[in-house]
Structure 1
Amino acid sequence: MKRTFLKTVAVALASLAVGSAFAADITGAGATFPFPMYAKWAEAYKKETGTGLNYQSIGSSGGIRQIRAKTVVFGATDAPVPGAELDKDGMVQFPAIIGGTVPVINLDGFKPGELRVTGPVLAEIFLGKIAKWNDAKLAALNPGKTLPDQNITVVHRADGSGTTFNWTDYLSAVSKEWADSVGKGAAVKWPAASSVGGKGNEGVAANVTRVKGAVGYVEYAYVKKNNMNFLQLQNADGKYVSPDDATFAAAAASADWFSVPGMGISMVNAKGANSWPVSTASFILMYKDPADKAQSAEVLKFFDWAFKNGKQMAADLDYVPLPDSLTAEIRSKVWSQIKK
């Protein structure tokens, strides 16, 4: 009996110690799109301040659910929440990082970016209307290339996803048929007969790597991390471009962030000769009147530090950091609404 009691006390004390050790850590959940960036920022921030970040990479829809349930201090989403919903929930929203979503393929015999595709043809692939890699429309865009007589398998997100929202936002912008029959959203009904789902950017990347003849869409950091093959994409100016921080930045150059409530603008199919057509921002959601004001203040300290000190880390992963002029406006116009 005595031994059991002492054991129970020891376990309780150990739990208390662990809880105390991590009491300062800030909690967030949501988009997988910015996860590589947040992980890198968090590692550097903890070394400098001792405060850690516990971020659950569960998808944008999950992040919105978690912040609404108040189980985390901030939510992260690539599908911006409309202004009316922000007002109803008593939340603010601001962009944290800019990146790009990329069509990735598993096709032997081709180097990354060697094959080209236009938006309308890409939409036909995801609609299932183009089902083989040697389809005449793909061949016409790639003269001199010998495309294989191989079935195309579409790989898509199985979870509610801001990456899917941005991808379907783009397909809706370049294809009336897609807009009319499928539309845009964090989750859609995928029409291609040969298709498979994956959870998170990680799951899509894994399935494209596994399935021969696959095509999917992932955030560019996952392309680099997994050495994936990708398609060059024709932009709104008719130029074929490859994804990187320069083409993402070009798409973001003309963004009018405060033109819509919650800064939730769309950058898909942006004008500009060097613009990547599926560029996007990832957003942070926080309460104006947070239940834990100290933790909320810690979140703002983290992002303030990241905006000031994390630019090179962002560039190393081919994300685009927000310009100083924009982060200054976020501090004065958005963070000022959060009660301390």
Structure 2
Amino acid sequence: MLKRVAATLLTGSLALGAHVASAAESITGAGATFPYPVYSQWADTYQDKTGVGLNYQAIGSGGGIKQIVAKTVTFGASDAPLKPEELEQHGLMQWPMVMGGVVPVVHIDGISQGQLKLDGKTLADIYQGKITRWNDAAIAKLNPDLELPDAAITPVYRAEGSGTNFLFTHYLAQVSDDFANSIGEGKSVAWPAGVGAKANAGVANQVASTGGAIGYVEFAYAQQNDLNYVTMQNQAGDYVEPSIESFKAAAANADWKNAPGFYLVLTNQPGEKSWPITGASFILMHEQVQDAKAAKQALTFFDWAYQNGNAAAEKLDYVPMPKNVAAMVEDKWRQIEGPDGKKVWTQQ
């Protein structure tokens, strides 16, 4: 299965599931590429066990939100959570499915895995086009023991509306007032410099093929594509490497119980071991669904993933949702109704 996931990350394939399933046996969804590696693992195992496949279009969070609003899929997926007023406007509910980390990755000759250190402000200056060469004084100050090349920096960014974009820009806006004022945060922003690429897989491929490049991807894409990740300074002032341990440290601060509509962003969390660009990936569904059978089929898959998917998630360095949060989520599912007004989710 890991080889299959690696292949999909390199090719940008959008189909999930090991076998071909008929339309009646396939759950439809669209959105974030951030959770795609773990959804792929879950889908393969679930289809082997149940015969039900998952047709998930990994088109980015912006596209997933548009498709669920338009009711062309059973569920949408986004790493940029919708605010409670947005959920109400579209008749949607959302819940966190899994957590993970966005990591800066670089392609610099002579620099090994995790050797390069960056802080948030320097990273923000790179993406604002203020720092344009790898031996810039600001980078050299953070890396006194490295021989940095006099090479141009090529920032690589997400070209489409993306939750990974949201998490990355939300973090940079937190740590740099200049970035917040000049570029801001969102699923799509106007980048002043660099090269755009589509989806996490596209950014990973662009960085891998471009000398001097820097990009940002969900950690599984860095791992599966053998990319050189950066060590980042966190809010506590400590340098940490991306790992499930540092993602868990940041996720430990998540207060889902008191998050209206499960709206919670986990970037720049306190703690000496916390990875600074951590976030959750969310599922979006209508509270009043058109197809009750399809909605129940999707919820049954998500329930299975909560109960049985933790090991697969952790193997890919995602952080599973705690059992108490999964229980809170499934309680919310009881609000979902079919066209006849009957509850879609009635399992205890």
Q: TM-score range by the shorter chain?
A: over 0.9
1:301 alignment partner AA: T
1:309 alignment partner AA: N
Query: Alignment partner of 1:337: what SS?
Result: coil
Hey, what does 1:127 align to over in structure 2?
128
Shift of 1:22: 3.0
Hey, what does 1:297 align to over in structure 2?
296
2:136 alignment partner AA: D
The within-5 A match list for 1:281-292 is 281-292=280-291
Hey, what does 1:58 align to over in structure 2?
59
The within-5 A match list for 1:303-314 is 303-314=302-313
1:31 alignment partner AA: A
- 2:224 is the alignment partner of 1:236: no
CA–CA distance in structure 1, aligned partners of residues 25 and 107 of structure 2: 43
Shift of 1:20: 8.4
Query: Alignment partner of 1:96: what SS?
Result: strand
Hey, what does 1:170 align to over in structure 2?
171
CA–CA distance in structure 1, aligned partners of residues 287 and 145 of structure 2: 57
CA–CA distance in structure 1, aligned partners of residues 213 and 201 of structure 2: 15
Query: Alignment partner of 1:154: what SS?
Result: strand
2:25 alignment partner AA: A
2:306 alignment partner AA: F
Shift of 1:108: 1.2
Hey, what does 2:93 align to over in structure 1?
92
* Greater helix share, structure number: 1
Higher mean Cα deviation, 53-62 or 253-262? 253-262
Q: Deviations over 1:19-76 (max 9, x none)?
A: 9833121100000000111111000000111111000000000000111111100000
1:337 alignment partner AA: Q
Question: In 1, are the aligned partners of 2:29 and 2:77 still within 8 Å (CA)?
Answer: yes
| Percent identical residues | 50
Hey, what does 1:156 align to over in structure 2?
157
Q: Deviations over 1:231-277 (max 9, x none)?
A: 10000000100111111111010111243322121111000111000
2:280 alignment partner AA: A
Question: In 1, are the aligned partners of 2:21 and 2:52 still within 8 Å (CA)?
Answer: no
Gaps of 5+ in 1: 1-18
Root mean square deviation, CA, Å = 1.1
The within-5 A match list for 1:88-237 is 88-192=89-193, 195-237=194-236
Gaps of 5+ in 2: 1-19, 338-343
CA–CA distance in structure 2, aligned partners of residues 191 and 177 of structure 1: 13
Hey, what does 2:261 align to over in structure 1?
262
The within-5 A match list for 1:33-44 is 33-44=34-45
2:223 alignment partner AA: K
Hey, what does 2:49 align to over in structure 1?
48
Hey, what does 2:317 align to over in structure 1?
318
TM-score by length of 2: 0.90
TM-score by length of 1: 0.92
Hey, what does 1:338 align to over in structure 2?
336
